[in-house]
Amino acid sequence: MSELIKDIKNGRILKNNGSWMYCVKCNMTVGYLCYSTYQNFQFDFDCKCGNKGSFRLAYKSEQDPVKSNKDLEQVKNRLCCPNDDSPLFTIVDKNIESVKYQITCKHCQTEYSNG
């Protein structure tokens, strides 16, 4: 298992490498990160309470990710990789104004982002 690189600002995550993500100002959930399916995850949010925060969690990789123009697949509220159906993360839309994300699927090393 390679080392987890982590940088979180104005946010809190329930477990070391995944689970619920919270805004530190109002303590509401802003998202959920699946533990073992990401290589690289970035999530910059504007909370409805006015707080701005960010999460960066990444495992070092020798491989460069392939950028995809495809959208993530939504299964219930979980965003999944369209190549292999890996569940990746959830955005709690009702608690945030906006989010900018980028995620690389560990299984297929494909990178998805929303802008």
Cα–Cα distance, 26 to 9 (Å, whole number): 14
Q: How far is the CB of 112 from Zn ion (least distance, A)?
A: 9
Decide: is 23 part of the binding site for Zn ion (CB under 5 A): yes
Q: How many residues form the binding site for Zn ion (CB under 5 A)?
A: 13
Q: How far is the CB of 45 from Zn ion (least distance, A)?
A: 9
* Cα 22 → chain centroid: 12
Backbone angles phi, psi at 24, to 5 degrees: -75, -20
Where do the DSSP E strands lie in the chain? 4-9, 11-13, 19-23, 29-33, 38-47, 52-59, 66-67, 73-75, 78-80, 87-91, 96-105, 110-113
Decide: is 71 part of the binding site for Zn ion (CB under 5 A): no
Q: How far is the CB of 101 from Zn ion (least distance, A)?
A: 15
Decide: is 83 part of the binding site for Zn ion (CB under 5 A): yes
Among 31, 33, 34, 51, indicate the residue that binds Zn ion (CB under 5 A).
51
Positions in the binding site for Zn ion (CB under 5 A) = 23, 25-26, 47, 49, 51, 81, 83-84, 86, 105, 107-108
